[in-house]
Amino acid sequence: TCPTFSPNGSRILAGGDRARLWDSATLKCLHEFRQHRRPVSSVAFSPDGSQFLTGSYDGTTQLWDAVTLEPIGKPLIHQSEVKAVAFSPNGTQFLIGFADGTIRLWDTTTLKPIGTPLQQVKVVCGVAFSPDGSQLLACSIDRMARLWDVATLKPIGPPLEHFSWWPHASFSPDGSEI
């Protein structure tokens, strides 16, 4: 589930019963990550490819070194299942979306939360940063998405409603569309 390519395209990281790292040319499994106690629901590479995140239904998120394949720090333990993870474009922050309807911004270096949790209302199923890193997008199973200002951690405008639930969040490359 939730496969993603490394920035240089040489590896694929995917969730499922556990996270696995694959060589994209040979499709050989390079490593299985067994740290999480429940399935891995979300994965993301840092923009420079030096780190990656795994988020799990067990309520933990782990930052990993993409070269050594070792954990960076201890797992982040949450009160709710992790549903989505994303790195900021400059790699200094990451975002986690939870089953309890909250999203949380974290500092990549200190592994400390930034500000208070942001309330999305229902189960968050996708999170993304705008290309310039100034906005966050979170979508949830209630057919709503919301934009947030990264500097103030305040919502930008009203929630955006869709005719169906939003399973993923992303911005267009120029940031003008979601």
Per-residue pLDDT at 163 exceeds 90: no
Average pLDDT, the chain: 93
CA dihedral 55, 20, 71, 50 (to 10 degrees): -100
Percent of the chain having pLDDT more than 70? 98
Average the pLDDT over 157-170 and give the result.
81
pLDDT band at 106 (very low <50, low <70, confident <90, very high): very high
CA dihedral 6, 43, 116, 129 (to 10 degrees): 40
pLDDT at 165: 65
- Report pLDDT digits (tens) over 54-68: 999 999 999 999 999
**What do you get for the CA distance between the two ends of the chain, in Å?**
22
Question: Which residues on neighbouring strands pair with residue 12, listed in sequence order?
Answer: 5, 22
